[in-house]
Copies of this chain bind each other. A is one copy, B any other.
């Protein structure tokens, strides 16, 4: 019998640019983001890094550890972050004891997978500026769902290089595309603060529609923002 309270975990506060888990590691821990911004990425054969997911407060970037043996990607902090680390075996035990927790975590992994699929679409089929617009819409909505956005503004401390890793563009082109978006009006993005002035215009431009985030299933966290954009 395993009480929820008895689950051991470690709290870690990590500086920016620190690897939490690395490709090839044994999958022994799962982590929960308490605050900050993390990225899952892989480095390809030319040394180019491709980010496959960004993680905000409340996300569990590394649930693979529950059922897989080796980690096949890196998870690193983008900003200073604090995370909880839970051993996979303890979490497994918890899932065995409480099926509804298992179901909830499983659902989380399915939603994360859905977001990654949309990233394939974004990276594979949209021109540079649209791609960035889509990413901005997604992050705004996810941060809002986590209670970290208000009035169309949120902290999104991604450097242009990190944006280029996430979008598969060069940094130079990210820079120019951002200028374009700023110039057109729907968005401003300075010093790690993103403001979306015209949500509808930006969503349309980026081809963003939020169903794939399955926000309604995330603990009733469907906010005004989500409601306003969902159509």
Contacts and interface: CB of A to CB of B under 8 A. Distances in A.
A64 B114 contact: yes
A137 interface: no
Interface in A95-114: 96, 99, 102-103, 106-107, 109-114
Given A40-B117, A119-B120, A125-B48, A110 B211 contact: no
Interface in A47-78: 48, 50, 52-53, 63-64, 66-70, 72-73
A66 B106 contact: yes
A184 interface: no
Interface string A173-212: 0000000000000000000000000000000100100011
B207 A45 contact: yes
B125 A72 contact: no
A97 to B, nearest CB: 10
A90 interface: no
Instruction: Give the size range of A's interface with the partner.
Output: 35 or more
Interface in A27-56: 40, 42, 44-46, 48, 50, 52-53
Interface of A: 24, 40, 42, 44-46, 48, 50, 52-53, 63-64, 66-70, 72-73, 96, 99, 102-103, 106-107, 109-114, 116-121, 123-126, 167-168, 204, 207, 211-212, 214, 216-217
Given A69-B216, A73-B117, 14 more contacts: A44-B125, A44-B207, A50-B124, A50-B125, A52-B117, A63-B110, A67-B103, A67-B107, A68-B114, A70-B211, A72-B211, A73-B114, A109-B109, A125-B168
